[in-house]
A and B are shown apart, each in its own frame.
Chain A
């Protein structure tokens, strides 16, 4: 019987080596290893053998089985290399529709993520706002020179406006939240504007503020630098300079080097070499006092930036209107 097995194995291996294609190989597999295959039949004959022979022959059959199987597999692979069926990978895939987030949402999400790592929570506030929260409580009394920069859309003159900035959420937060807190807000703001390629009556702002005992300009600078470096890249040059905003004292502006001209001055940066990115500073003592805090015991910082220009820059959109008029083709 041993000889029979050996012969069968040799015969199988020889036929496998001669095989021309995968169909022939499959036929051989069935002929030897299939349910009624030649080798399988031999297994059935084991019954009549003595115990010691059973062991010996069983091992032999197993070895032969493995050898035949491995040879078929390697021959199959060999045949594939040599010759393959016609296959065209250039055929276009069947379209599968997936949805996309609006560019502004993508930018906001990314910013939220960065600020979460800096210990910030996310809050929101109303868009229809009273003069009190939008201006008065932010150290912007009536007739303040800074008010002309942001002509409001009025719902009721002079007391109800569509918020002109997300700072209105700051005054609401100062009223309701207990320090220490760090929060960011992103949302729609409005202004009286004749709509054109660079100005829209609605725009998005991203704002943050932190109130905590001992918080300083160094913490503000640290948070802003971390944000700028993760959002705009490690290599950007940053300018952190004195700037006036009525809501803060001291106030600071943050500029980034203009990538379009390498700080040489071009139309993008209006010849300045720098792009104004955001405004910031320490929350004005008048504001802190008006919410019942002693500025010497508890301090805070605030920062804010327009989002639309950042979105336009990132997604190479040249007309601000196309962000919000359904022009984006997904």
Chain B
């Protein structure tokens, strides 16, 4: 809220330096947002706390300054209280709602409607509301000064039969800003027999506002149920100056102060004739409430010692009344306007913030350190990310939504369950949540290809989301994608994956062909480990993709182990075989390995047309193999493969 310094000065003595004032206010909870100058007067813009309804006024801030700097508040003069009555000059007010806490009405006749005098115009300009005429401006002025929103009607237009009620279905109102609002049954309105006059606490109607023809004014100030006003204000986007105050928990006792302050200024300026009676509807009077404060609790919560004497002194500066005090506890009566102070902890904050948070010491590890309960999958994800980067893949993070043109792909890996959707989407791209990491990775890959990249290696680790049997599921996945200009193939991609698995210490995994729910993905397969599917993969748009299910990997035994170099050297030779089409090479490799336990390793080195070259390691743990021993094993290999229709070249 914008606080013109000159205006604030009228009610409280300010420190000599402006930064003294703004620094202390900031520390106490009202941060200086901006500094401004209007009409050569300094205006400080404070970011106020949402629960301090009392601070949305010059007087509210004056009270804070008074408490911080130990100087008294000079309250402005108010009208000599007129007598109050349930009815007023024949005005009948019907309060047909539980949302009304208090309302006061006064009438002013024979008003002198003029442009506002300079002082009033300037004040409003400094605060930041436009000047309209003296009556409307005055109600704004008093609202800014006291925090109580006031509203003026053209008395002759609204008539004498008034109701405060919830709107009926289909009712409409056009605001003085010429905007027509369709009301709901939850909106609280002022109405007469024929029409809606205003939306309570938010905005007045066009027809019944003060106009150039207005002769007599009906002034109202009220206090409503905060939640109801808040709903209306946000439903219809009516964050007016009145609205932002009424949506907070205002003190109903403030209504009286606001009304009488307005009347006082009418009187002083001779802008109309004030009727003697004021209507006051206030069914449940709010009285100061009691709270207690335990000194030990204060000290244990703050971690420092505040002397009881100081506690008492600070609370007094803040208008709290001390009812009882002993060595351990304090009982106080809270001022009516401090609607935010409801608990002992609130009182504790009051003491600490006025004393300054700077006095709280900073302690590290003074308490016992609790045991480590870090979830194992957090470490797993971290390791996996490090392993993937070590084999040359870059990590990306995307918004877990699938763009409209990619929705078909969203069902590519999951065929049970339905996508989770945002019902109030801010844009079409932020609606359907991903069921696979593929669409976004594919889009990012495409982007790099378009930027003339020659190779793409990306991964994303995150969640996928779906709904199944009325429950929402979130599963952790790692999506891995590979593309290379002109020379990507499954052989290379699988090499990366095998290196990854080896780094993860994942052993005994098996690649098998597997069908996926949609056919955009070709050459699809799965990877199983002890019978459980741990990953799905395939080819799409020349990209190789694999999605690993992290939760199913977590249960696997991924204990690290090391291999030592064998004592006796191996004999190594390359054998080239001619292999018929549609032979599973993985099975060929396996069958070579199974021929003899002295075959330590078999590696596919090269493929040329139908010729496959394997590098074979012959090795014995206990001795160096002789040539004739190797020869025998080689013959066994050739014989074994012959059964499969594979023959050695040359």
Q: Find the A residue at minimum CB distance from B249.
A: A145
Residues of B354-386 contacting chain A, CB below 8 A: 357-358, 360-375, 377-378, 382, 385-386
Residues of A83-139 contacting chain B, CB below 8 A: 97-102, 104-105, 109, 118-119, 121-124, 126-128
**A-B pairs with beta carbons under 8 A, tally:** 246
Contact of A201 among B26, B230, B360, B399 (CB under 8 A): B399
What are the residues of chain A within 8 A of B31 when measuring CB–CB?
241, 243, 253, 272
Residues of B20-75 contacting chain A, CB below 8 A: 26-29, 31-35, 49-52
Q: In the complex, what's the smallest C-beta–C-beta distance from A310 to chain B, in angstroms?
A: 15
Q: Find the A residue at minimum CB distance from B228.
A: A143
Residues of B429-464 contacting chain A, CB below 8 A: 430, 440, 443-444, 447-448, 455, 457, 459, 462-463
Question: Is B472 within 8 A of A97, CB to CB?
Answer: no
| A215 interface residue per 8 A CB criterion | yes
Question: Is A98 within 8 A of B29, CB to CB?
Answer: no
Report the Cα distance A323→B398, complex, angstroms: 8
Known contacts A226-B364, A323-B397; is-contact A99 B375 (Cβ 8 Å)? no
What are the residues of chain B within 8 A of A17 when measuring CB–CB?
none
Q: In the complex, what's the smallest C-beta–C-beta distance from B2 to chain A, in angstroms?
A: 14
| A76 interface residue per 8 A CB criterion | no
User: Which of B109-117, B255-263, B418-426, B580-588 lies on the face that meets chain A?
Assistant: B418-426
Question: Is A128 within 8 A of B357, CB to CB?
Answer: no
Question: Is B392 within 8 A of A128, CB to CB?
Answer: no
Question: Is B365 within 8 A of A118, CB to CB?
Answer: yes
Question: Is B29 within 8 A of A153, CB to CB?
Answer: no
Contact of B363 among A124, A192, A218 (CB under 8 A): A218
Residue with the highest number of chain A CB atoms closer than 10 Å, among B353, B362, B474: B362
Q: How many residues of A contact B (CB 8 A)?
A: 86
What are the residues of chain A within 8 A of B234 when measuring CB–CB?
148
Q: Find the A residue at minimum CB distance from B430.
A: A201
Known contacts A123-B375, A124-B375; is-contact A299 B430 (Cβ 8 Å)? no
Q: In the complex, what's the smallest C-beta–C-beta distance from B47 to chain A, in angstroms?
A: 9
| A324 interface residue per 8 A CB criterion | yes
Question: Is B300 within 8 A of A222, CB to CB?
Answer: no
Q: Find the A residue at minimum CB distance from B50.
A: A145
Residues of B125-176 contacting chain A, CB below 8 A: none
Question: Is B364 within 8 A of A223, CB to CB?
Answer: yes
| A71 interface residue per 8 A CB criterion | no
Residues of A219-250 contacting chain B, CB below 8 A: 219, 221-223, 225-226, 239-244, 246, 249-250
Known contacts A128-B420, A219-B303; is-contact A102 B397 (Cβ 8 Å)? yes
| A202 interface residue per 8 A CB criterion | yes
Q: In the complex, what's the smallest C-beta–C-beta distance from A307 to chain B, in angstroms?
A: 11
Residues of A169-224 contacting chain B, CB below 8 A: 177, 179-183, 188, 192-195, 200-202, 212, 214-219, 221-223
Question: Is B373 within 8 A of A177, CB to CB?
Answer: yes
Q: In the complex, what's the smallest C-beta–C-beta distance from B547 to chain A, in angstroms?
A: 18
What are the residues of chain B within 8 A of A218 when measuring CB–CB?
302-304, 360-363, 366
Question: Is A100 within 8 A of B368, CB to CB?
Answer: no
What are the residues of chain A within 8 A of B302 when measuring CB–CB?
216-218, 250
Contact of A250 among B228, B348, B368, B377 (CB under 8 A): B348
Q: In the complex, what's the smallest C-beta–C-beta distance from B360 to chain A, in angstroms?
A: 5
What are the residues of chain A within 8 A of B430 when measuring CB–CB?
153, 195, 201
Q: Find the A residue at minimum CB distance from B32.
A: A272
Q: In the complex, what's the smallest C-beta–C-beta distance from B470 to chain A, in angstroms?
A: 11
Q: In the complex, what's the smallest C-beta–C-beta distance from B494 to chain A, in angstroms?
A: 17
Q: Find the A residue at minimum CB distance from B248.
A: A145
| B187 interface residue per 8 A CB criterion | no
Q: Find the A residue at minimum CB distance from B425.
A: A153
| A69 interface residue per 8 A CB criterion | no
Known contacts A244-B50, A299-B300; is-contact A153 B422 (Cβ 8 Å)? yes
Contact with A along B296-331 (1 / 0, CB 8 A): 010011111000000000000000000000000000
Known contacts A128-B420, A216-B301, A272-B32; is-contact A155 B375 (Cβ 8 Å)? no
| B295 interface residue per 8 A CB criterion | no
| A4 interface residue per 8 A CB criterion | no
| A16 interface residue per 8 A CB criterion | no
| B227 interface residue per 8 A CB criterion | yes
A214-B300, A221-B361, A241-B27 provided; 4 other pairs, C-beta below 8 A? A188-B462, A195-B426, A216-B300, A249-B349
B residues lining the A interface (CB < 8 Å) = 26-29, 31-35, 49-52, 226-228, 230-231, 234, 247-248, 294, 297, 300-304, 343-346, 348-349, 352-353, 357-358, 360-375, 377-378, 382, 385-386, 388-400, 420-427, 430, 440, 443-444, 447-448, 455, 457, 459, 462-463, 465, 472, 474
* A-B CB contact pairs (8 Å), 10 listed: A98-B390, A119-B369, A122-B378, A145-B50, A148-B230, A162-B422, A218-B366, A244-B49, A249-B348, A272-B33
